[in-house]
Chains A and B, each alone.
Chain A
Amino acid sequence: MIDVKNLSKSFGKHLVLDNISEHISPGEKVVVIGPSGSGKSTFLRCLNLLEEPSGGSITFDGTVITDPKTDINKIRRQMGMVFQHFNLFPNMTIRKNITLAPVRTGLMKQEEADETALTLLKRVGLEEKENSYPAQLSGGQKQRIAIVRALAMRPKLMLFDEPTSALDPEMVGEVLEVMKELAEEGMTMVVVTHEMGFAREVGTRVLFMDGGKILEQNEPHAFFDAPREERTREFLSKVL
């Protein structure tokens, strides 16, 4: 589904991603972990070109998205993204937050989008918040809405950038629950997170990044029970 070849990214002289090649297949739940500054968020943001790669290529469903001629808006419609700080639009109601993109991109008519919004909101138990504004919601509620907003575009793939890092501890569970359900439905997911429990339980593959490289990757049980690299062991001993 996504094919990354020799991806590099530098900010000025600082090399953040160092020649990464990786393949993500449909249905995979790839969990990316690593210390801060390891480049994991930048890697994720390169996948939908929120960061412009400095080198290498990314292919999504056969389209080379790093090609300047590619219409990136069309590609992004098929990739949902959830941010650490939710980034709901504070000037709109929840319903408008969810329906804006499907309607403006011509994916749905307003009525259809409203129905989709309601169905999705019911799924995350927030249908009564339809006419509220983001400022009236808790962090956990905001993040569940942000997931719904991305899902309303019917994406083929979901990218999560530390979705629970800005939440109060008691709200982490409700967001992970939604993500877990999504995973069970077969959604392809790439998740940058510090939630090792989630990585172990939901992930089909764990990537460990450090210094702009993927140092080690494995199926989650093997990864956590028997890490091969010294650096991975050191990291896991600190976070587990």
Chain B
Amino acid sequence: MLQGIGWLDSIGPRLQRAFVEGERWKLYLQGLGVTLELTVVALIFGVLLGLVVAVVRTAHDQQRLGRKNPVLGVLNVLCQIYTTVIRGTPMLVQLYIWTFVIFPSERNKVLVGFIGLGVNSGAYVAEIIRGGLMSVDAGQSEAGRSLGLNYFDTMRFIVIPQAFKNILPSLGNEFITLFKDTSLVQAIGGAEMLYYASTIGGRTFDYMPPLIGIAAMYLVVVILFTWLQGKLERRLRESDRR
């Protein structure tokens, strides 16, 4: 009983040390900023990369018989190797390889984080987009092609816009995964949210408040994002009933 009260008594000073002293709360916000930046840049990078990979792989699979393009064949193999290797190895191992093997002299670890996360995300997004492209009724691209549109115009104006609606839920999911995976960048020394929380924990010899604090911050962002995503999906679905 007494001990319980003692714990309560000490919580005030502990929070004070973890968040208020030396304006430490600013560091958490700074970390959150870097975390969000990592997420958004990596996702944009991942979506662009994923789109290219998905279009190459879909284009390869939809070639006319007897008209196999050798360049597309080579690209397709490269894309397959890329998705297989990235999806088949742990993200943390990939980050270590980027940091210690590929860019050992790069001091901006957040930059390495952008690359590591973006390349990783691209492989997953590629599969999401490929699934989305395949979910569009074959009659749609047949109609486009029968009008004389070429493959890429058919993709650009007809298939991709329709696929976008179908992949939005999975893409949102990827955003959430990526957002939380940014914490791995701490392990290569990138100053994101977890990095500041562990530094502060070490300095005050008290890890509980900073860790619970950033866990809450991750959670709030994810809840906020899920809500926004739901709103966007409802709006897109409304346009179907126009």
Question: Taking beta carbons and an 8 Å cutoff, which residues of A are in contact with B?
Answer: 48-50, 52, 68, 72-74, 76-81, 83, 85, 87-92, 100-101, 104-105, 132-133, 135-136, 146, 149-150, 153
Stretch in B84-92, B135-143, B176-184, B211-219 touching the partner:
B135-143
Summed over the interface, the residue pairs from A and B with CB atoms below 8 Å come to a total of 77
CA distance A132 to B242 in the complex (A): 8
| Chain B contact patch, size range | 20 to 34
Given the interface contacts A91-B162, A105-B149, A135-B240, does A83 sit within 8 Å of B65 by beta carbon?
no
Q: Determine the chain B residues whose CB is within 8 A of the CB of A88 once the complex forms.
A: 143
Given the interface contacts A87-B139, A90-B240, A135-B241, does A101 sit within 8 Å of B147 by beta carbon?
yes
Minimum CB–CB distance from B25 to chain A (whole Å) comes to 46
Minimum CB–CB distance from A128 to chain B (whole Å) comes to 15
Task: Beyond the given A52-B65, A92-B157, A105-B148, please list 6 additional residue pairs across the A-B interface where CB-CB is below 8 A.
Answer: A76-B146, A77-B147, A81-B147, A101-B149, A133-B242, A146-B143
Tell whether, in the assembled complex, residue A87 and residue B242 are in contact, meaning their CB atoms are under 8 Å apart.
no
Tell whether, in the assembled complex, residue A104 and residue B157 are in contact, meaning their CB atoms are under 8 Å apart.
yes
Query: Any chain A CB within 8 A of the CB of B150?
Result: yes
Can you give 30 contacting A-B residue pairs, CB < 8 Å?
A: A49-B64, A52-B64, A52-B66, A68-B66, A68-B67, A72-B64, A76-B145, A76-B147, A79-B146, A80-B147, A81-B146, A83-B143, A87-B137, A87-B140, A88-B143, A89-B140, A89-B143, A89-B144, A89-B157, A89-B162, A90-B162, A90-B240, A91-B161, A100-B157, A104-B153, A105-B148, A132-B242, A146-B143, A149-B147, A153-B147
Q: Determine the chain A residues whose CB is within 8 A of the CB of B144 once the complex forms.
A: 89, 101
Tell whether, in the assembled complex, residue A83 and residue B142 are in contact, meaning their CB atoms are under 8 Å apart.
yes
> Chain A: which residue is nearest B160 at the CB level?
A91
Minimum CB–CB distance from A49 to chain B (whole Å) comes to 8
CA distance A38 to B137 in the complex (A): 24
Minimum CB–CB distance from A205 to chain B (whole Å) comes to 23
Q: Determine the chain A residues whose CB is within 8 A of the CB of B147 once the complex forms.
A: 76-77, 80-81, 100-101, 105, 149-150, 153
Q: Determine the chain B residues whose CB is within 8 A of the CB of A132 once the complex forms.
A: 242
Q: Determine the chain B residues whose CB is within 8 A of the CB of A78 once the complex forms.
A: 148
CA distance A88 to B142 in the complex (A): 11
Selected from A50, A68, A80, the residue in CB contact (under 8 A) with B145 is A50
Q: Determine the chain B residues whose CB is within 8 A of the CB of A83 once the complex forms.
A: 139, 142-143
> Chain A: which residue is nearest B64 at the CB level?
A52
CA distance A68 to B66 in the complex (A): 7
Q: Determine the chain B residues whose CB is within 8 A of the CB of A136 once the complex forms.
A: 242
